[in-house]
Structure 1
Amino acid sequence: MHLKDFLLFYIQALLLVCSFQQASGQTGACSLHNGLPISAICSGNLEVYQIEHFFRELVQDGNVRFNELWISDNYLIQRLPVGFLGELQIIRMSIVSCPNLVQVDDFLGASSDTLLSLKLYGTGLSEVPQLTAPNLYELHVYQSEKRVVIRRAAFERSRAIVKLDFKKAIVEPFAFFDLKTLGSLYIRDISPKPLVAGSFNFDSPGLSYIELSSEEPWEGHIEPGTFGGLVSSTWFRLGAAADVSPAVLFPVLNSSASFEIGVPVKCDCQVAWIRLSSFLPRTTIRCATETSYVALQDVDEAEFKDCGSFCPV
């Protein structure tokens, strides 16, 4: 074979191998980063047993406590079994771009007492997992496709949480009621279905910020009794509200919380009870007009003279 023909054959074979590797997915690997912070990283397509083997090797080498653990870009992993982390003591953990991960058992092992932060981004979970993590400070669950259901049972053994941050979520009644130290709650793409009674009832004296917003069309339909337990230090931002009647919002404003509606509303008699009450200074509500919007505070009281009396219920 002439050199020119050999080179041509070699290049074609190399291209064939490369295209096969791209089609079959990149092989994953785990590594240890000894910088600051000390991190363990498992990236790419790895089976659960391969990751567990890496964890055992770390322990055998005397590496037990880590500031961070990353598991990312894995299309093979479907379940995190009980005791998955073994003897590792992790402070912050991120699971990113694992779209086929649909089941998370109580996998923390020795990290149960050390874990402060858990981030689950881009998984296939259908509900927030129930974990034994008594010192967990913050939990982030960002879904890209499937909505995750938030149930009260998820926090039975993680009641010290201060910050919750969700994307694409459905909230069941009293999901957050047992979190006595909860400070902030973000739901950035809430379900377009109506919010049901009890969904956002709290019992946390330090509750400072709540944000419920949506990326999909959502008119903000809310059942009476949805909100409760807000305190004077709470800033509550609601992305949209189809009903601003006392039956829905009186518990919010009567708590002395600050209240904001992101999308301008129709300022007819439904908002008269707010405009003509002492609640007004603690609200940020914009009234939609034909061309723009105006703050509810700037609408003349005379606009509501024919609305009659409104008694909160």
Structure 2
Amino acid sequence: MHLKDFLLFYTPALLLVCSYQQVAGQTAGCTVRDGVTKSVICSGELEVHQIENFFRQLVQHGMMRFDELWISDNALIQRLPVGFLGELQFTHISIVSCPNLVQVDDFLGASSDSLLSLNLHWNGLSEVPQLTAPKLYELHVYQTEKRIVIRRAAFERSRGIVKLDFRKAIVEPFAFFDLKTLGFLYIRNISPKPLVAGSFNFDSPGLSYIELTSEDPWEGHIEPGTFGGFVSSTWFRLGTAANVSPAVFFPVLNSSAVFEIGVPVKCDCQVAWIRLSSFLPRTTIRCATETSSVMLQDVDEAEFKDCGSFCTV
């Protein structure tokens, strides 16, 4: 392309970016970054209609396909409406540090057909949004103060998800059951309330890794029936457990999954069913002692001789 043609083609978009920043000021604005990745970046306190106007002008200049959208540091946004992205298509979207963003409708527009990765970090959401994104591969939702509720309905129109990553979450029963390709689930600060039956029941043959940990105090109380659908390829890492009864964990170990508990437990008769069974080699359970901890495998079987009868597996 000759220099004259190049300038004629790109000048409108460049003027668009520059003029918009001048109107919005130096601390807020939308820009297009065309480097290794082609990105749209909207930073600072912009109203929703201002961002939508910028999107429409991009479309008018024939710029519709991008690798990434980044919206950040915006205390004005409270809601992302249906079709917010219009005709723009993004592969990756990050909406970060918008503390008053409490509602996200099905905002993707044309990006419904292109979105692979969505990050919603440090916003004010109370539940995982229901989005139409059949190609969505991974979803990350990190909260600061408010816990986000994960409901089954959130994934009705995005069932191809492989990776889910949450911080500060409450899980409702069967929230993940419809995700047939789910491979990885991280909940890094789970609700301190007891886990209820059905919360972590899966139907994904490729389920590889589940991590449920807590930064806040959590006693690890879990109802029977909470876990189901684990497979032999699953590695399940649980931060803590109030007890290790078969009523809760038999479905996990009977599936041939690998099971790990992060915090040492009291290794009395509650763990005898694991120590004296074929489940033992697939577990990483440390027993709390007065001064340190010891692996359950290293506790002599004789320690459990008075635990009564049970069926050896």
Find the counterpart in structure 2 of residue 135 from structure 1.
135
Find the counterpart in structure 1 of residue 216 from structure 2.
216
1:92-131 map, 5 Å: 92-131=92-131
Deviation at 1:26, TM superposition (A): 7.6
Among all aligned residue pairs of Structure 1 and Structure 2, give the percentage whose two residues are the same amino acid: 84
Deviation at 1:311, TM superposition (A): 4.6
Deviation at 1:298, TM superposition (A): 0.3
Aligned amino acid, residue 160 of structure 2:
A
Distance 1:261 1:175 in 2: 23
Q: 1:158 to 1:41 in 2, by over 3 A?
A: same
TM value normalised by structure 2: 0.91
Find the counterpart in structure 2 of residue 90 from structure 1.
90
Deviation at 1:243, TM superposition (A): 1.6
**RMSD between aligned alpha carbons?**
1.1
Which runs of 4 or more aligned residues in structure 1 lie more than 6 Å from their structure 2 counterparts after TM superposition?
Answer: none
Aligned amino acid, residue 38 of structure 2:
I
Distance 2:172 2:82 in 1: 26
Deviation at 1:85, TM superposition (A): 0.1
Aligned amino acid, residue 268 of structure 1:
D
Distance 2:43 2:235 in 1: 39
Deviation at 1:249, TM superposition (A): 0.3
User: Are 2:266 and 1:266 aligned?
Assistant: yes
Find the counterpart in structure 1 of residue 251 from structure 2.
251
Distance 2:189 2:174 in 1: 19
Distance 2:66 2:138 in 1: 17
Does the Cα contact within 8 Å between 1:259 and 1:284 map onto a contact in 2? yes
Q: 2:252 aligns to what SS in structure 1? A: helix
Gaps of 5+ in 1: 1-24
Deviation at 1:150, TM superposition (A): 0.1
Distance 1:249 1:45 in 2: 48
Distance 1:26 1:284 in 2: 54
Distance 1:118 1:99 in 2: 17
Deviation at 1:27, TM superposition (A): 4.1
TM value normalised by structure 1: 0.91
Aligned amino acid, residue 31 of structure 2:
S
Find the counterpart in structure 2 of residue 275 from structure 1.
275
Gaps of 5+ in 2: 1-24
Aligned length in residues: 288
Deviation at 1:165, TM superposition (A): 0.1
Aligned amino acid, residue 78 of structure 2:
Q
Q: 1:259 to 1:58 in 2, by over 3 A?
A: same
Q: 2:97 aligns to what SS in structure 1? A: strand
Deviation at 1:309, TM superposition (A): 1.5
Q: 1:98 aligns to what SS in structure 2? A: coil
